[in-house]
Structure 1
Amino acid sequence: MNDLIKTSFNDRPPKAVILAGGRGTRLMPYTTFLPKPLMPIGDNPILEIVVRKFSECGLKNIIISVGHLAELITTFFGAGEKWGVDIEYVVEDKPLGTMGPLHLIQDTGENFFVMNGDILTDLDLPALYKGHVESGAIMTVATCRRNVDIDFGILSYDAENRRIDSFKEKPTLFYDVSMGIYVLSKRCLEYIPKNEYFGFDNLITRLLQKGEIVRAHPHKGMWLDIGRESDYRQANELMAQAYREGKNAII
C-alpha cells in the first residue's frame, strides 16, 4: 500500500477534489456518529491516507466536499498543514451526489482530479492524469475489473422457439467498474446542473449522449471501496498483516 503513488507531478500540478459528504449508509450504524471518510484503516482514517498520498505525489491544492458530520472532518484536517497541503472546503447544504458539488468550487483549473474519500488503491495518479491530458478526453475514468459469481446455472435460448442453445453452470462474470477516481476537464461543468443532485452516472450518460469523448484508464492493482463492508474488513486485514510484518503501510 505504500506504493500508492509511483510517480509524481512536475510543474503546475492540478487540483484534487475529494468527495466526503455522503452519509455512508452501507456502513451503518458506525457512520451514525462518524463520517465514512474518518473510518479507521489500522490507526489512520481512510481520508487521511488519501490526503497523504495526494501530498506525496505533489498534489498540494486539495478541496474536500463535506456534508454529513462535516465539522468532524474540518476539525481533523484543518487547513492541511500537517500533511503539507492547502485544504479548502465546500459544504453541501443538501446531498448533491458525486458531481453536483463541483459547482461549489470557485476555480477547478483546466483539468482536475475528483476522488471518493473512501478509496484505498495503489493506482498511479500521475499516470492517470497524463493519459487524460494527452488523450483530449473530456473525462477519464479509472477502472478496475471485478468478478461476479452467479449462484445459478445460466441458460440461453431462442426467444421464438424457446430452444436452448447453451448452458453454463454457476459462471463467473467479469466487469470493468468505475473506481470512483476521475480526471475531469473544466468543460464537464457545462453539463452539470447547479444546486441539484447529480451523480457520476448522470454525468457520463449525458456526456455520451452528447458525443463527448470519455476515456477509461484500466488499473490492474489493488482497489478497495471501504463503503462496502467486505472491502472495509479486507482493508483492515491488509493493514494488520503489514504491521505484523513490520511494514509501514501508510507512508
Structure 2
Amino acid sequence: MIAVIMAGGKGTRIASVSTEVPKPMIPLCGKPVLEWQLECLKAQNITEILLVTGHLHQVISDYFGDGSRMGMQISYLVEESPLGTAGAFYYLKDRLDGDFLLLNGDVMFDVDFARFVQAHQHYGGAATIFTHPNQHPYDSAIVVCKENGQVVNWLHKEEKREWYANRVNAGLHLFSPGIFEWMKAHGMLQKPEKLDLDRQVLKPLLADGLLYGYQSPEYVKDMGTPERYEMVQRDIRSGLVSARNLANPQKAVFLDRDGTINKYVGFLRSAEQMELLPQAAQAIRKLNEAGWLVILATNQPVLARGEVSEEELTEIHNKMETLLGKEGAYVDAIYYCPHHPDKGFAGERPEYKIECSCRKPKPGLLFRAAQDYHIDLKKSWMVGDSAADMGAGKAAGCKTAGVYGEKSGDESFATLAEFAAFLCGREKA
C-alpha cells in the first residue's frame, strides 16, 4: 500500500517554535515529526511513500532523499502553488490504482494500520477516516457515525449541536481508487485547482453513503500550537505515544456512570438530568494524560423498561461527553447493557427482557471492550459505586476500586478524583 503524506504546511500557528523549516520538519525530541511518521509506517511494512510538498520543499527532499537510508521508497509531488488539502488528487489519479493512505504531515501518530486497513476493507466505502476523542472537541469538527461505522453527519465548529459525542477526524484517511471517479462525477479533477479535503470531498461523500469512520483510542495528536507541541514531546519521552498502539496490550480504567461520573438521580431518563460530579472531569483528564484507556461500562435497564429510547440514551451520553470535553477530558469508548430480566413494566421492550452476560455484576461489557481494544484485564481497574461494579471487575480479572461509599472493592476512595490521584501517583512513585 502507498502512503501519501501531505507535507506542504507552513505551520503559522506554531511559528514561535520554528519559522525556518516547513511544519512537517519541526523537530520533536530531536527528530522531525515527518520522520516519526515514516518510522511508524516502516515498522508496519508500509515503505512506498509519496510526499506532497510545497513550502520549502528542498528542506524535506534534502533530508529524506529517495528514502533509501530508511529502507523506504520516497517520491515527491511538488505543488508550485498551494492546492489546498485535496488539490493534489488531480495528480494522484494518474499515479494510484489501489487503496492508499492519505496522512496529514503535521500530526504525531503511532497506530496499528493493519486494523485501520481491515476496517476500511470491511466497510467497502470510498473513504474511511480515522476518528478518535480528543481534549478539545469544542474547537474541532465532530463526526457522527452509525453503529456500522457509516458517517451520517459532519459538524464543523460553526455547526455543532448543543450536545455531541467526542468523535473527531484525526487527519489519517484511507481511500479506495473509486474516489477519483466519484470526484470526476462531481465536477472535480478536470484541472489543477485548490480543494478542501474535509468540506469539498469527505463531507459530500455522506450523501452517497460512501464515507465511514474507524474509531480508535490510539495516539494521534496535532502538534500545531506551542502548547500541543510541548505536550507531544512529553508524551514521546514518557513512552505514551508508542504504548497506545493497539498492537500492544492496553491498560484501562472501566468506569460506572451514575454515581461515579455524574450525580445519582435514580433512573436517569433525560439529558437534562445529566450533571457531572465535582472533580469528575479533572479525574478523567488525569487518567487520560497518564495513558489509561477510560471506558464507560454501565447498566441501562431504562431501555428494557421502555423509559428511554436508544436515541435519548445517545443524547444523555452526548451531553456527558460534551461536559467532559469542555474540561479537556474524554472517555475512549462507551459500553452499556440494555437488558433487565424482570418483567411487568408498562411500555417494556420484550427483546431486552432476557438474562444476559453483560449486565453487571456479570463481566460481559468488560470482555467486549478487552476484545475490541486489546486490553490486559489483569492490569486494568473497574471503578464504581456499587457491589455490582465490583463484582463485574473481579469476574473479569480486574483490580477494583469502590468510590462514594462502596467498600467491597480491593480499594476504596471517597471520590473518583481520589482514585485518579492514587493510581497516577502510584505509577510515578
Smaller-chain TM-score bracket: 0.7 to 0.9
How far 1:212 moved relative to its partner? 3.6
Aligned partner of 2:105 in structure 1 is 117
Q: Aligned-pair distance for 1:29?
A: 4.2
Contact 1:24/1:227, CA 8 A, preserved across alignment: yes
Question: How far apart, in 2, do the equivalents of 1:77 and 1:115 lie?
Answer: 17
Shift of 1:71: 0.4
Alignment: residue pair count = 209
The answer to whether 1:72 aligns with 2:72 is: no
1:33 equivalent in structure 2: 20
Question: Is 1:231 the equivalent of 2:218?
Answer: no
Is residue 99 of structure 1 aligned with residue 86 of structure 2? yes
Q: Which residue of 2 aligns with 1:218?
A: 215
CA distance in 2, matches of 1:22, 1:149: 22
Measured against aligned partners, the alpha-carbon deviations of 1:95-146 in whole angstroms (never above 9, x if no partner) come to 1122211222332232100001122123211211111112211100000112
Offset, 1:38: 0.6
Structure 2 Cα separation of the partners of residues 26 and 182 of structure 1:
23
User: Is 1:51 equivalent to 2:38 in the alignment?
Assistant: yes
Matched, 1:181 2:172: yes
The 2-side partners of 1:121 and 1:176 are apart by 17
Distance 2:237 2:136 in 1: 27
Larger fraction in strand? 1
Of the three residues 107, 122, 131, the one matched with 1:143 is 131
Change (3 A) 1:149 1:16: closer
Q: How far apart, CA to CA, are the structure 2 residues paired with 1:18 and 1:68?
A: 14
> Structure 1 CA distance, aligned partners of 2:209 and 2:6?
24
Task: Give, in angstroms, the shift of residue 30 of structure 1.
Answer: 4.1
1:121 and 1:223 in contact (8 A); partners too: yes
- Call closer, same or farther: CA 1:99–1:128 in 2, change over 3 Å: same
Distance across 2 between alignment mates of 1:132 and 1:179: 15
Per-residue CA distance 1:199-240 (angstroms, 9 max, x = gap): 22210122223x142110001122211123322111112234
Counterpart amino acid of 2:54?
Answer: G
Secondary structure class of the residue paired with 2:194: coil
2:205 corresponds to = 207
Moved more, 232-241 or 218-227: 232-241
Question: Bigger shift: 198-207 or 59-68?
Answer: 198-207
Instruction: Tell me, in whole angstroms, the C-alpha distance in 1 between the residues paired with 2:238 and 2:119.
Output: 34
Structure 2: distance between partners of 1:24 and 1:101 = 19
Distance in 1, matches of 2:224 and 2:131, equals: 17
Check 1:87–1:139 CA distance in 2 against 1; reply closer, same or farther (3 A cut): same
* Counterpart pick for 2:119 among 120, 131, 137: 131
Q: 1:31, CA displacement in angstroms? A: 4.5
Cα distance in 1 between the residues matched to 2:137 and 2:214: 24
2: distance between equivalents of 1:110 and 1:149? Answer: 33
> Could you say what secondary structure the match of 1:223 adopts?
strand
The code of the aligned residue for 1:215 comes to Y
Percent of aligned pairs with the same amino acid: 27
Q: TM-score scaled to structure 2, two decimals? A: 0.46
Structure 2 counterparts to residues 151-166 of structure 1, below 5 A: none
TM-score (norm 1): 0.77
Structure 1 contact 23–31 (Cα < 8 Å) conserved: no
Q: Is the 8 A contact 1:148 1:174 kept in 2?
A: no
What per-residue deviation string (whole Å, max 9, x for no partner) do you get for residues 150-196 of structure 1? 8xxxxxxxxxxxxxxxxxxxx99652111100000112123143411
Q: Partner amino acid for 2:229?
A: Y
Q: How far apart are the structure 2 equivalents of 1:172 and 1:240?
A: 35
What SS does structure 1 have at the residue aligned with 2:6? strand
**Counterpart contact for 2:9–2:106, Cα < 8 Å:** no
From 70, 86, 96, the equivalent of 1:108 is 96
Structure 2 residue ranges without an equivalent (≥5): 139-161, 244-429
Q: Aligned letter for 1:107?
A: R
Paired residue for 1:153? none
Which structure 1 residue ranges, 5 or more long, are not aligned? 1-13, 151-170
Preserved CA contact (<8 Å) 1:147 1:174: no
Structure number with greater CO (CA < 8 Å, separation at least 6) is: 1
The alpha-carbon distance between structure 1 residues 85 and 121, as it changes in their structure 2 partners (threshold 3 A), is: same
- CA–CA distance in structure 1, aligned partners of residues 107 and 99 of structure 2: 21
